[in-house]
Amino acid sequence: MLRTLAITGAVLLVGASLSIGAANLWTGDLDAGLVIAVSRVPRTLAVLLAGAGLALAGVVTQLALQNRLVEPGLTGTPEAAMLGLLGVTVVAPGASLIVKMTVAVIAALAGTAGFFALAAHVPRRDPILLPLVGLIYGGILGAAVLWFGWMTDLLQYVGTWTSGEFSGVLRGRYELLWLIAALAAALWVVADRITLLSLGEDRARSLGLDYRQTLSMGLAIVALAVAAVVVTVGSLPFVGLVVPNVVSRLWGDNLRANLPAVAILGGFMVLAADVIGRLVRFPYEIPAATVFSVFGAAVFLWLLHAPRTARHG
Domains along the chain with CATH numbers: 1-41 (no CATH), 56-305 (1.10.3470.10)
Does residue 282 sit in helix, strand or coil?
coil
pLDDT-above-90 percentage for the chain:
37
CA dihedral 258, 212, 229, 181 (to 10 degrees): -50
Between CA 148 and CA 75 the distance in angstroms is 20
* Averaged pLDDT in 10-residue chunks for the chain of 313 residues: 74 82 53 74 92 94 89 91 92 86 92 91 84 91 93 86 83 87 91 87 86 90 92 90 88 84 93 90 85 83 61 43
Cβ-in-10-Å burial (0-12, 13-18, 19+) of 230 comes to buried
* Distances in whole angstroms, Cα of residue 280 to Cα of each of 21, 109, 115, 288: 13, 37, 37, 11
Predicted local confidence at residue 248, as pLDDT: 86
Predicted local confidence at residue 311, as pLDDT: 44
For residue 78, which of 227, 221, 222, 179 has the smallest C-alpha distance? 227
Cβ-in-10-Å burial (0-12, 13-18, 19+) of 307 comes to exposed
Predicted local confidence at residue 66, as pLDDT: 87
Predicted local confidence at residue 95, as pLDDT: 85
Q: How many CA atoms lie within 13 A of 196 on its CB side?
A: 19
The answer to whether the CB of 293 falls within 8 A of the CB of 237 is: yes
The answer to whether the CB of 53 falls within 8 A of the CB of 183 is: yes
Predicted local confidence at residue 110, as pLDDT: 93
Predicted local confidence at residue 21, as pLDDT: 62
Cβ-in-10-Å burial (0-12, 13-18, 19+) of 129 comes to middle
Predicted local confidence at residue 2, as pLDDT: 63
* Distances in whole angstroms, Cα of residue 132 to Cα of each of 70, 115, 125, 285: 9, 12, 14, 32
